[in-house]
Amino acid sequence: MRDEVCSLFDLSGQVAIVTGGAVNIGRGIVRKLAAAGADVVIAYNCSAAPAEELAAEIDGQDGRALPVCVDVRNEGQVRDMVQTTVRHFGRIDMLVNNAGIFTVSPQGELSVEDWDAVFDTNLKGLFFCSRAAAAQMVAQGDGGRIVNIASTNAVHPGFGGTAHYDASKGGVVAYTKSLAAELAPHRIRVNAVGPGLIDSPGLRSNALELAQMVEERTPLKRLGTPDDIGNCVLFLASRASDWITGQTLFVEGGYLLT
């Protein structure tokens, strides 16, 4: 029985792409998928050194990881990322759309450029990656999984100045449902994870009051960690979730209950 349960989470021989995979949440996701046996493409835009360091860490643990530079807003670069993955590892089984940006600006001061920057990365980039990876999965003919990283902000507004970010993440939730229905005949499951506030040294140094307020308000009395999100993504990428598609799983310590 224990071997049967462990096998549910065994990703040996499978290939995953994680966008924004070099730092923070993405780093936690990459480590979990690699620990489960997957070969992982660490897609990054501005974090070359952390991506290479993480790839070396995984290679040193008898895993296989490949850092690939890509701007998810550029459809040509996204296609190149998919082709590079197939050339290097032979296939694609999983895509985790984690790349995203967050800015704060009240509506009266929000520029069109800032609005477009958030939507181009958080939603259009997710669309480019999903379309390219799904085409490869369909061609392979044996299913696949796509996991999109949304946010609690998709269903609960932030604390002011985040309407553009909130709207982009709401779009991720809606897109996840539509894509899940479209790709189900190909046995490609599409789900999303909605993280709450994730702890980091940068958060504590730049927004300590916010961190403390959310921590106190959260029923489980702590902020999230990259491992919390990595564990959830691993579940949705594994056979343990074979009958789940079109869903958003919020990982937030009960914050949305308050």
What is the Cα–Cα distance from 69 to 195, expressed in whole angstroms? Answer: 25
Domains of the chain: 2-248 (3.40.50.720)
pLDDT digits (tens, 9 = 90+) for 9-45: 999 999 999 999 999 999 999 999 999 999 999 999 9
165 is known as an active-site residue: yes
Question: pLDDT (tens digit, 9 = 90+) per residue, 148-207?
Answer: 999 999 999 988 899 999 999 999 999 999 999 999 999 999 999 999 999 988 888 888
- Which listed residue (44, 165, 175, 255) is catalytic? 165
Return the pLDDT at 202: 85
pLDDT tens digits along 218-255: 999 999 999 999 999 999 999 999 999 999 999 999 99
pTM of the model: 0.97
Show the CA angle centred on residue 169, arms to residues 144 and 218, nearest 5°.
105
Closest to 51 in 3D by CA, of 63, 71, 33, 69? 69
| CA atoms of 113 and 58, how far apart (whole Å) | 38
Distance of alpha carbon 66 from alpha carbon 56, whole angstroms = 9
Beta strands in 53-130 (DSSP E): 65-69, 94-97
Q: Residue 1: pLDDT above 90? A: no
